[in-house]
Amino acid sequence: MLALRLSRALPRALPSPLSQQHRALHASSPAPSARPIEQVTIFGAGLMGAGIAQVAAASGLKVTMTDVSDGALENGRNIITKSLTRIARKKSPDDAAAQRSFVDSVFANLSTTTSAPDAVSSADLVIEAIVEHLGTKQELFRRLDDVAPKEAIFASNTSSLSIKRIGETCSDARRKRFAGFHAFNPVPQMKLVEVISTDQTLPEVTTALLDLCKRMKKVPVQCSDTPGFIVNRLLVPYLLEAIRMVERGEATPEDIDTAMKLGAGVPMADPIHVAQFVGLDTLSHIASGWRAERVSTGEIDAKQVEEVALLEKLVGEGHKGRKSGKGLFDCEWRSHGRLLPGGAVRPSEGREGSLPESLTH
């Protein structure tokens, strides 16, 4: 699943502002070892940041979670508390004391602060899980580069942005210790983590992140810094094409989902449901970003992320899927008509596959 975005500004108390695939991914000899990661700092206390913090703390790591305000941090702690309480009840359904002990044991490894310099002062690894905006991420890492230990690894939890671009504002030395750590939502349940190396990332940094994933009981996969990495590189064009099928009037959203679930044999292969869960606005934002920055570089083919008029119309009208309560399932279907939001149906006109007039305005 695409990582959820945390709409936060940079944390306060920061100092004032003053592709070739990595060969280590397929090296036959073992990568050099790095010192074990024990102290982890998470920037962002939303769903993703809190989820990563929870799993890391439950794995025995010392975790510092930081955000822009005490209110944001309290929200993050509440997210973790609710998640841990559910787990504790499953582990010890008839033992309230054991449940409390389990929750307390995880929080014993977790501290919070709004001071970014304090948060990174002894960090072995810094993971950002803030708003999915290139400039904001770059500014955060630029400032942290001056105050974090020189040995600290920097990692982004971005689901769609270029890892190398995010790290451009860091020093040359830090860029060698910069990578992607893309966990999936909800982090406590989802087993996968994509570990992304740029052409500058040191092999020992990749090895350290892979070892960390295993300690956190996650399944890591390695990828170079390609658009969307592995999952979203395959998923985003797939979701867009499913929406194009609805737009062209070739099948209903329900039938597309049923066909892929039963025909492909994968429980979460239903593309319309997944697109609505992810957010139609998020899908549109990712595709737009790739069209603007990754097509001209030859990293991805233009046809794979071509604009979908129906998607943009729905997003423009505030129909974003699950988060807004309306989306592609609110389009009506007629066997000899075209789909329009809100139930209107226009008979097919012109050449096969042409858009209804109202979708082009």
* Confidence at residue 36, expressed as pLDDT on a 0 to 100 scale: 85
Residue of 81, 175, 153, 70 lying closest to 114 (CA atoms): 70
323 is in an annotated binding site: yes
Ligand-binding site membership of 46 (annotated): yes
pLDDT in tens, 28-41: 345 445 678 999 99
Tokens of 277: 């869960």
- pLDDT tens digits along 235-265: 999 999 999 999 999 999 999 999 999 998 8
| Residue 217 marked as a ligand binder | no
Cα(232)–Cα(2) distance, rounded to whole angstroms?
7
Please indicate whether residue 28 is annotated as part of the active site.
no
| Cα–Cα distance measured from residue 307 to residue 104, given in angstroms and rounded to the nearest whole number | 49
Residue from 194, 224, 247, 284 carrying the catalytic annotation: 194
* CATH numbers and ranges of domains, the chain: 23-224 (3.40.50.720), 232-351 (1.10.1040.10)
- Known binding residue 185? Answer is yes
Structure tokens at 305: 């992320």
Query: Residue 32 in 3-state DSSP?
Result: coil
33 marked among binding-site residues: no
354 labeled binding residue: no
Per-residue pLDDT reduced to its tens digit, 101-130: 999 999 999 999 999 999 999 999 999 999
Query: Which of 232, 273, 284, 319 is an active site residue?
Result: 232
Q: How many residues does the chain have?
A: 361
Rounded Cα gap, residues 193 and 183, in angstroms: 5
- pLDDT (tens, 9 = 90+) of the chain, 361 residues, equals 444 333 344 554 555 444 344 444 444 345 445 678 999 999 999 999 999 999 999 999 999 999 999 999 999 999 999 999 999 999 999 999 999 999 999 999 999 999 999 999 999 999 999 999 999 999 999 999 999 999 999 999 999 999 999 999 999 999 999 999 999 989 999 999 999 999 999 999 999 999 999 999 999 999 999 999 999 999 999 999 999 999 999 999 999 999 999 998 877 779 999 999 889 999 999 999 999 999 999 999 999 999 999 999 999 999 999 888 889 987 654 333 444 444 443 433 333 333 333 333 3
Is there a binding annotation on residue 45?
yes
- 67 belongs to an annotated ligand binding site: yes
Q: Please give the structure tokens belonging to residue 174.
A: 């830090």
Give which of 87, 93, 323, 95 is closest to 217, Cα–Cα.
87
**What is the per-residue DSSP string for 277-298?**
HH-HHHHHHHHHHHHHHTTTTT
Condensed to tens digits (0 to 9), the pLDDT of residues 181-201 reads: 999 989 999 999 999 999 999
Phi, psi of 164 (to 5 degrees): -65, -40
Q: Given phi > 0 = left and psi -120 to 50 = alpha, else beta, which region is 358?
A: alpha
How many Cα atoms within 13 Å fall on the side-chain side of residue 186? 8
Q: Give the distance from CA 161 to its chain's centroid.
A: 10
Cα–Cα dist 199/202, whole Å: 9
* Phi-psi domain of 335 (left: phi exceeds 0; alpha: psi -120 through 50; beta: other): alpha
What sign does the dihedral 164-146-159-291 (CA atoms) show?
Answer: negative
Which of the following is catalytic: 157, 159, 162, 224? Answer: 159
132 is in an annotated binding site: yes
Question: 82 vs 13, 25, 32, 186, CA distance in Å?
Answer: 29, 38, 40, 13
Q: Which residues contact 328 (CB under 8 A, 6 or more apart)?
A: 243, 246, 253, 272, 275, 276, 280, 314, 321
Is residue 194 annotated as a catalytic residue, yes or no? yes
336 carries an active-site annotation: no
* pTM to 2 decimal places: 0.81
**49 known ligand binder:** yes
From the DSSP assignment, how many helices (H) and strands (E) are in the chain?
13, 10
Residue 235 to residue 245: CA distance in whole angstroms: 16
> Which tokens sit at 153?
């690894």
Residue from 22, 157, 162, 182 carrying the catalytic annotation? 182
The position carrying tokens 């959203």 is 253
Closest CA to 196 of 21, 53, 61, 55: 21
313 is in an annotated binding site: no
Annotated active-site residue 232? The verdict is yes
Which token pair is 335?
């066997």
